[in-house]
Structure 1
């Protein structure tokens, strides 16, 4: 027998907290390496490293929650869904974009590099690299179908992730950031967006769709 909505909400919240706690435990050492620079306000040493960006993002989660709450209150009753989705899309995506556009040591000195053979780079990424690429547009794929009915399907989320990833890879190449613009990054980014859309399906599959206007006689 399916549980009540409140029970399901409690179960999902508990699972989310446990997953977050597990991730924090696994990443505690690299995150703590960036903590002194961030605490001292040395922003180049903090926001100029992947560990520092992840740490600042995690610390700022309460601020994002407060922003979503304030936006919903400002808009009035019934706006919590759109407010949470908008804040989630932005807050969950910008840190990953910052990391992917972070210049390398020889940025501006070496030309852009391309890797257009599928699956060639995938084998050398390792588990952490694969998971990181899946997460780049995961928040966008999770919340965009909830916020925009036109994107409420996994294939559309896949296409959205692919387009956004292509823009990022193009920027890496054009700006000469000392990074490799890889087709495997696009594949993983798009796949992550689609999987996240499937994870949020229960919130957008039953969302009310606008009815077409009746034809005038």
Structure 2
């Protein structure tokens, strides 16, 4: 029974399967939130609901996977690399192009959903530098947790850079929708100057 639970919650394949299985629940959550917000008179209820669920559904599985312990978790001390790009060069030289590509793409996707949906949901984050800062901060927290919990993983500055870059690229992909972010107060928008003599 323990092995069965570990197969679901303690492996990459298990996390992927769970993510696929709960997709209908995520869709249902978007619908339920949107319906409740529309009933309350919230503008753009569908969009805000999709953003809320998208941030959670698109981020938690990736963070879950990178927090899975290695084979020697708890038995070996945490490892840290702070020299930018060193790990990337090592992966490309030792692991080969395929392994390196999978690693890089995976790191780019960790906070991509956050980068895509956060500016749409929160007007204060409708800026690529702010999204980069948010993703970098979240990534530093994850890398620190890997080190403190001794998960037999390398806490690398390259992971932080890739995680932030993925969020920034995703933010750029959603930038065309930032201007009509529903939570932007209308009274803060520039008002035309009154006509002379009125």
Same fold flag (TM > 0.5): yes
Q: Which has the higher contact order (CA 8 A, sep 6+)?
A: 2
1:18 corresponding residue in structure 2: none
Could you list the per-position Cα deviations for residues 85-141 of structure 1 after superposition, in whole angstroms to 9, with x for gaps in the alignment? 000001111111111111111111111100111001112060000000000000111
Is 1:121 matched with 2:87?
yes
Find the aligned partners of 1:179 and 1:107 in 2 and give their Cα distance.
Answer: 8
Q: CA deviation at 1:43?
A: 2.6
**Of residues 150, 157, 171 in structure 1, which corresponds to 2:124?**
150
Question: Number of paired residues?
Answer: 174
Q: 5 Å matches for 1:87-102?
A: 87-102=53-68
Q: Report the equivalent of 1:170.
A: 144
CA drift of 1:82 comes to 1.1
Name the structure 2 match of 1:62.
24
Structure whose alpha-carbon radius of gyration is higher: 2
Deviation at 1:42, TM superposition (A): 2.3
Aligned with 1:181: secondary structure? strand
Quote the Cα distance in structure 2 between the aligned partners of 1:98 and 1:145: 23
How many angstroms does 1:212 deviate by?
4.2
Q: What is the CA-CA distance between 1:186 and the residue it aligns to?
A: 0.1
Which runs of 5 or more structure 1 residues have no equivalent in the other structure? 1-36
d(CA) in 2 for partners of 1:205, 1:129: 34
Q: Deviation of residue 53 (structure 1)?
A: 0.8
**Is 1:135 matched with 2:101?**
no
Moved over 2 A (4+): 205-213
Q: RMSD of aligned C-alpha atoms? A: 1.9
52, 75, 97: which one aligns with 1:86: 52
- The whole-number CA distance in structure 2 between the counterparts of 1:141 and 1:109 is 35
